[in-house]
Structure 1
Amino acid sequence: MSAPPRHPVIAMRDVEKVFRADGIENHVLTGIHLEVRHGEFLAIAGPSGCGKTTLLSLMGLLDVATGGDVAFEGVQVNGLGRQARARLRNERIGYVFQAFNLIGDLDVLDNVALPLTYRAGVGRQERRKRVMEALDDVGMTHRMHHFPSQLSGGQQQQVAVARALAGDPAILLADEPTGSLDLAGAERIMALLRRLHAEGRTICMVTHEERYRWAADRTVRLLDGRVVDESSYAQWQREAASGFDDRGFVERFT
């Protein structure tokens, strides 16, 4: 029996993100303390504009925190250079975007293979093997020679998941993976993510859809760039439904 991992996949301590433009500071995230453990399915929930996508971008090394500490599998990433961050992202992180981000001129096979072409030590045969396994995982091998324009939205998202899985990442990050889908397509994607988690995958999903939180082991709530507890969030929902200003809520409960 293997020993449990020494470090969480992602650990954030007092993280903040500030965007500056024309001398104005916009504090998007403030005082974030968060861990994602191996084998966990974590949902990050909250209303639009609360900082969910920014948080996921920091977790996925697509952006750099303004302050605080971010560690990936025990490695501090704050001081890593651009190339080191890109290599870590390519080798250990799978990212699923709401808008799919497939390349229209490439068929399904080549779209899924694309990230592996930038990975050292993965030859053509190994790349093909990984791609076929990933497509089989999401049930899309029968569409491998089709182009994105020939697929439904749900099928394109399945291909995007396969692309993220092909590199065998330590964590799968999904940013509103159902946001561009109809109800049937969204349900298929959620069933797929739930199955992948049951098979041992570590998943972190951003969503503003309350009905999709059921798939996760744990939910972290964001409001105005801060983590809040369930009771505070429930009160915000009640008061927001009555026209309450959520900024006033943040001042009272954070």
Structure 2
Amino acid sequence: MLELRGVQVGAGSTPLFEGLDCQFDAGLITSIRKGGVLDGSSTLLKCCAGILPVQGGEISWKTQSVHQMPVDCRFQAISYCFEAGGLVSLFTVYNNIAIPLRYHGICDEDEVEERVQRAMTQLGIAHLTHAEPHELNDVQQRLVNLARAFAIDADVLLIDELQTGMSQVMYSKVVAQLQAQAARNKTVVMVTTSGDEDGFADRHLLIKDRTVVERT
């Protein structure tokens, strides 16, 4: 379980979230619908991943403070999937997925290859193995970010606006893979925008008035 207690998040002097209490349970897909442009949704996910600090309150995973966890432990537990970017320009797709596994010593080289190939196949991007980031479109970049999270086998997947630009067929296939992750007791949290299909999610939230509320 990923839990937020009294969380305050801001961009400079601008408050984005105040006194936010929320929890995301394992085995469920949660959709957080954006409340508007610059609503802080991406910042919130990055705070949940420990990438950005909070201004108050605490975010914890399995009762451990996310921001106090050793970096390698946090990396293996929680993966943030960027909406744009998030890839090293000098590395191929294969190495963008593989390098974090090597750097953190998660597994040996044989298993690295197995994990990377499996993740790319699951998301239909095996043909991009040798491509470089500048050769990818926005959708492909997001899929590589997601494949990296799959390869890491993180317990928590934080996914920022995945659907934009995807065909319905492609999106349906990716959703099936996310449902498979949830079935393995992973925590899946997605930021979605108006018009995105999220009927498959187990829980639907909306960003409103500097907090998140249940969406009906």
TM-score (norm 1): 0.74
Q: 1:176 aligns to what?
A: 161
Q: How many Å apart are 1:51 and its aligned residue?
A: 2.0
Q: Trace 1:186-197 onto structure 2 (pairs within 5 A).
A: 188-189=170-171, 191-197=173-179
Distance 1:157 1:65 in 2: 25
Count of aligned pairs: 212
Which residue of 51, 57, 80 maps to 1:68?
57
Percentage identity across paired residues of the two chains: 27
Distance in 1 between the 2:148 and 2:106 partners? 18
How big is each residue's C-alpha offset from its partner over 1:183-203, in whole Å with a ceiling of 9 and x where there is no partner? Answer: 52x762454034322342431
TM superposition shift of 1:61 = 0.9
Amino acid at match of 2:97: V
Cα distance in 2 for partners of 1:160, 1:75 equals: 25
User: What is the aligned partner in structure 2 of residue 137 from structure 1?
Assistant: 122
2:16 to 12, 28, 50: 28
Give the counterpart letter for 1:73 in structure 2. Answer: K
Q: Give the letter for the 1:15 counterpart.
A: V
User: Is 1:117 the counterpart of 2:63 in the alignment?
Assistant: no
Q: Which residue of 1 aligns with 2:27?
A: 39
- Structure 1, unpaired ranges of 5+: 1-7, 232-254
Confirm or deny: 8 A CA contact 2:8 2:54 kept in the other structure.
yes
SS in 2 for 1:216: coil
> For the Cα contact (< 8 Å) 1:194–1:215, is it kept in 2?
no
Shift of the 221–187 alpha-carbon distance from structure 1 to 2, 3 Å rule, reads farther
Instruction: Give the match's secondary structure for 1:47.
Output: coil
Spell out structure 1 runs of 4+ moving beyond 4 A: none
Aligned to 2:90: 105
Structure 2 residue aligned with 1:17: 9
Contact kept, 8 Å, 2:4 with 2:23, in 1: the verdict is yes
How far off is 1:135 after superposition?
A: 1.3
CA contact (8 A) 1:47 1:223 kept: no
Q: Structure 1 residues 203, 229: CA separation in 2 closer, same or farther (over 3 Å shift)?
A: closer
Task: Tell me the CA shift for residue 139 of structure 1.
Answer: 1.9
Pick one of 43, 46, 50 that aligns with 1:57. Answer: 46
Report the alpha carbon displacement of residue 157 of structure 1 after superposing the two structures with TM.
2.3
Q: What's the offset of the Cα at 1:40? A: 0.7
8 Å contact 1:18–1:27 — kept in the other structure? yes
2:192 aligns with 207
Report the TM-score, using the length of structure 2 for normalisation: 0.86
Q: How far is the alpha carbon of 1:164 from its aligned partner?
A: 1.6
The gaps in structure 2 that reach 5 residues or longer are none
Match of 1:153 in 2: 138
- 2:148 aligned counterpart, secondary structure: helix
Deviation (angstroms), 1:212: 2.2
